[in-house]
Structure 1
Amino acid sequence: MTLLHAGTPLRTPDDRNPLVMRRRGWWLVLIGFLLPGSAQVLAGNRRLGRFGLAATIALLVLAAITVVLWFVWRTALLTIVGNSIGLLVLEVLLVGYAVLWLMLGFDTLRLARLRQVHGRARAAIAIVAIIATVAPAALAGYGATVVDATRSLVSGVFHSSRPPVDPVDGRYTFLLLGGDAGEDRVGLRFDSMTVVTVNAETGAATMIGVPRNLRNAPFSQGSPMWGPWPNGFDCESSDCLLNGTYTYGEAHPELYPEAAAEGSSPGIEATRDAVEGVTGLELQSFVLVDMHAFESLVTALGGVEIDVPTRVALGVEGAEPFGYIEPGLQHMDGPTALWYARSRTGTSDYDRMVRQRQVQEAVIAQFTPDVLLTKYRQLAAAGADLVQTDVPQSMIGSLSELAMRTRQLPITNLELIPDAGVETGDPDFEQIHAMVQRALAEADAIAPSTESPAAP
């Protein structure tokens, strides 16, 4: 405790002694870096020092709690930092601590009295002090920008007021829609419809490709679409293909008057009811992916690796291809991956469904920790333009935890196409429901059961 006395060399050193001043300079820089605020308590403004020490200790305690929660109760941690309020608090703390670190670091440099330090030690102390001040503050500042990007993504994409939903029959099930809105088109058209259902306990996932040209989609009696279409969505024109349910719903908003307030739209709700009838699964949430923004996401990821089974033409249907994607393992950038997922030249909708599933799985596989750390802001910016969903913010934590399990397992795929025995022009829905249940059982057989389910 003698170091705190007014007469000690740290607070009132003999500045005529070069050895004392050199040692004092190094000592202040060292303790100021290891425990910010301590240099001020020992040799400067004690009030500032005590504030710095309190902030540092609080930060260390929060870091320790974070580490414990990561290993003991990860879902709770992800829930705290997965909502806009929690992220705003974290961002403010990081910015505040970065500013405080800079203040303490440069004040420590002032306290070192470098004018009284002779020789090369003066420059060495100054360089080390500046690095020890700027580097941690820059790291905290970068962390704040990452948190800000996350907060913008969470606020702009996820539903803030919708309550969490429980698993249905032990599963979370989502409707993944690939939207194709463009300047040359009136409204939105779904090019891709996929049901993603995940075992809430193990994370085992099944992806079910639903053809957009499927006819006579049935509706339950509880659906608003039952009234106008009690015998299924069936008419003579192409308006009654499965992806026509969106257009019908948008043209009849009175069927789903609460859709907008719940983060959806009448067209999406009509499509959800139709796909529920087709698959026999209850869809708790939807995720609408803009196909053009998808290109930006793949670019932000640095591209994807896809094993191409057959040659795919680059170009619109009916026109001369301007290039080809050759068979074999290919690294695709954003534009190429989008062409691969959407090309119809010399192929069919059903082939394209298989390719779309390949791209979706490749994107999931590309979300590795190193990619997230180095490209997070670009990914968050792309994601904000990419996705519309009614997934509640309150479920981000539990679903993120579940996604970590899913990434460790192979994904079971089921395509409801003629090659699998499905007659899309006159479907046998009992047959389809049985196929879906077999695929779910196959996925569940892959992963052993864990002791406790993921909390919603």
Structure 2
Amino acid sequence: MTRRAWWLVGLNLLIPGSAQSLAGDRKLGRFGLGATLVLWTLAVAALVVWLVWPTVFLTIVTSSIGLWVIALVAVFYGGLWIVLTLDTLRLVRLVKTAPAARAWIALSSVFVMVFLAGSAGYGAVIATTASGFLSSVFASGPPEPPDENGRYNVLLLGGDAGPDRDGLRPDSIRVVSIDAETGQAVTIGLPRNLEDVPFPEDSPLHEVYPEGYGAIDGCEVDACMLNSIYTEVELKSPEMYPDAEAQGSEPGIEAMRDAVEGITGLDIQYYVLIDMAGFQQLIDALGGVDVVVPEDIPIHADETFTTVAEWIPAGEQHLDGYHALWYARSRHGTSDYDRMARQLQIQESMLAQFNPANVLAKFQEIAAAGSQVVKTDVPQSMLGYFVNLASKTKELPIVAVDLVPDNGVDPEEPDYAVILQLVQQAVVPPTPEPTE
């Protein structure tokens, strides 16, 4: 009876339903075995799709319907495993087993039940949380094709709304251009203080500023710089972009999209706005970031950015959200170009932290923070494709092009022909001539 008990417990773990088929309710056993076979079939099919068509697999697991189906399946199997395990414990007949083995048999059965049902329950929670997070952050709508060069160009805006400011103003402005086939990425950093910003001819801002932003009679805000365009349109003339909100955007964001397209000559298909005020929550949810600090960086005591409260020391540092935010935005004794470099460093460190183990372990915290931090018009239908593309990007070196004085760009008197040339050389490098 003791050997029989261990066999039943083992079979219940390896082939749920087999214990009932051998020693109990055959009808329940057939149902359990059928459900087990279906689960194994689904697992094998998922593995094949993941290996052969990864984009299809990722599209399914990043769609709301797919995630809810996964959650319901997990709940079903969690409940089934509880029923089968309790029934197996009944079939064991502990009173007829050796007294020394009874506690171990019971504990093993309970462990199996908790492990299988608990894993299924946690999977259901993750799936429903992910569905809510993705629905709240990502837009609905059809996917956009890549541009004429076969690339996707995404505008990344880091918004910083402080008490010394009238509305939000993007302090971090960067374009990520990704090859739609290879995943090779180029990042283009744009200084927030670029002046005389040109707009495409079909932009409503081109009619107001045909010679560039503020080039003739100034603008409607204090400083006529690149990051002021968001503030001006959002607060002064949102009617320029009447369809922005219906398309999952904002007038200020669409104005920035036009400005960046005019500067870079790229077609910007999507944007991502990161609220720096909630930025530290996301980093804390990730467990912090590891960065190499090149020199001591000050943390300011107030919003005037003049009084130093403490310093982030040079060297290898593990920064929590508060210190990472200040590392990215500190101004005291540094230039905007220093800040751009630090912001890129934090972004790269965060990407490194987004590994499957870290995300799964802290998914609910990351999702809660991310839904408050991120706003984007990337449609949910494109997530599977972009996740698969991102896996290729991580394997390739990223080309960084910063439009700063070291690269021949003077923000106060920028030569936009030179800027276009720098961007094109990075995004569409010349094909080397074949050697004879």
TM-score (norm 2): 0.92
Match of 2:350 in 1: 363
* Secondary structure of residue in 2 paired with 1:322: strand
How many pairs are equivalent?
Answer: 424
Match of 2:24 in 1: 44
Quote the Cα distance in structure 2 between the aligned partners of 1:319 and 1:231. 36
2:205 matched to 1:225?
yes
State the AA in 1 paired with 2:184. Answer: A
* Secondary structure of residue in 2 paired with 1:196: strand
Quote the Cα distance in structure 2 between the aligned partners of 1:131 and 1:227. 70
Shift of 1:61: 0.8
Q: Is the 8 Å Cα contact of residues 289 and 353 (structure 2) preserved in structure 1? A: yes
Residue number among 78, 88, 93 corresponding to 2:73 in the alignment: 93
State the AA in 1 paired with 2:365. Answer: Q
Residues 244 and 184 (structure 1), Cα distance of their counterparts in 2 relative to 1, 3 Å cut: closer
Shift of 1:279: 1.0
Alignment of 1:12-27 (within 5 A): 21-27=1-7
Shift of 1:318: 4.9
Match of 2:228 in 1: 244
2:74 matched to 1:102?
no
Quote the Cα distance in structure 1 between the aligned partners of 2:11 and 2:305. 72
Q: Is the 8 Å Cα contact of residues 9 and 105 (structure 2) preserved in structure 1? A: yes
Residue number among 281, 290, 312 corresponding to 1:325 in the alignment: 312
Quote the Cα distance in structure 1 between the aligned partners of 2:152 and 2:323. 32
Structure 1 unaligned regions, length at least 5: 1-20, 446-456
Q: Is the 8 Å Cα contact of residues 105 and 133 (structure 1) preserved in structure 2? A: yes
Quote the Cα distance in structure 1 between the aligned partners of 2:132 and 2:328. 28
Residues 239 and 47 (structure 1), Cα distance of their counterparts in 2 relative to 1, 3 Å cut: farther
Residue number among 191, 195, 200 corresponding to 1:211 in the alignment: 191
2:291 matched to 1:312?
no
Report the structure number with the largest CA radius of gyration: 1
Structure 2 unaligned regions, length at least 5: none
The 10-residue stretch of structure 1 (163-172 or 46-55) with the greater mean CA deviation from structure 2: 46-55
Match of 2:284 in 1: 299
Quote the Cα distance in structure 1 between the aligned partners of 2:357 and 2:227. 38
Note the aligned Cα RMSD (angstroms).
1.9
* Secondary structure of residue in 1 paired with 2:413: coil
Shift of 1:98: 0.8
Match of 1:157 in 2: 137
Match of 1:450 in 2: none
Shift of 1:33: 1.6
Residues 245 and 260 (structure 1), Cα distance of their counterparts in 2 relative to 1, 3 Å cut: same
Shift of 1:352: 0.9
* Secondary structure of residue in 2 paired with 1:176: strand
Residue number among 247, 259, 282 corresponding to 1:262 in the alignment: 247
Residues 318 and 402 (structure 1), Cα distance of their counterparts in 2 relative to 1, 3 Å cut: closer
Q: Is the 8 Å Cα contact of residues 151 and 178 (structure 2) preserved in structure 1? A: yes
Q: Is the 8 Å Cα contact of residues 204 and 444 (structure 1) preserved in structure 2? A: no
Alignment of 1:66-145 (within 5 A): 66-145=46-125
Residues 421 and 100 (structure 1), Cα distance of their counterparts in 2 relative to 1, 3 Å cut: same
Quote the Cα distance in structure 2 between the aligned partners of 1:185 and 1:63. 53
The C-alpha deviation readout for 1:370-424, integer Å capped at 9, x for no partner, is 3223223322222112110000111111100110111112221111122321121
The C-alpha deviation readout for 1:239-288, integer Å capped at 9, x for no partner, is 42111221232232322222111110111101100111011111100000
Shift of 1:330: 2.1
Quote the Cα distance in structure 2 between the aligned partners of 1:301 and 1:136. 27
* Secondary structure of residue in 2 paired with 1:356: helix
Q: Is the 8 Å Cα contact of residues 305 and 331 (structure 1) preserved in structure 2? A: yes
State the AA in 2 paired with 1:84. Answer: S
Quote the Cα distance in structure 1 between the aligned partners of 2:163 and 2:305. 20
Match of 2:334 in 1: 347
Q: Is the 8 Å Cα contact of residues 206 and 443 (structure 1) preserved in structure 2? A: no
Q: Is the 8 Å Cα contact of residues 411 and 443 (structure 1) preserved in structure 2? A: no
Q: Is the 8 Å Cα contact of residues 412 and 442 (structure 1) preserved in structure 2? A: no
Quote the Cα distance in structure 1 between the aligned partners of 2:67 and 2:162. 34
Percentage of identical aligned residues: 51
* Secondary structure of residue in 2 paired with 1:277: helix
Quote the Cα distance in structure 2 between the aligned partners of 1:91 and 1:365. 28
2:389 matched to 1:407?
no
The 10-residue stretch of structure 1 (134-143 or 263-272) with the greater mean CA deviation from structure 2: 134-143
Shift of 1:336: 0.9
* Secondary structure of residue in 1 paired with 2:362: helix
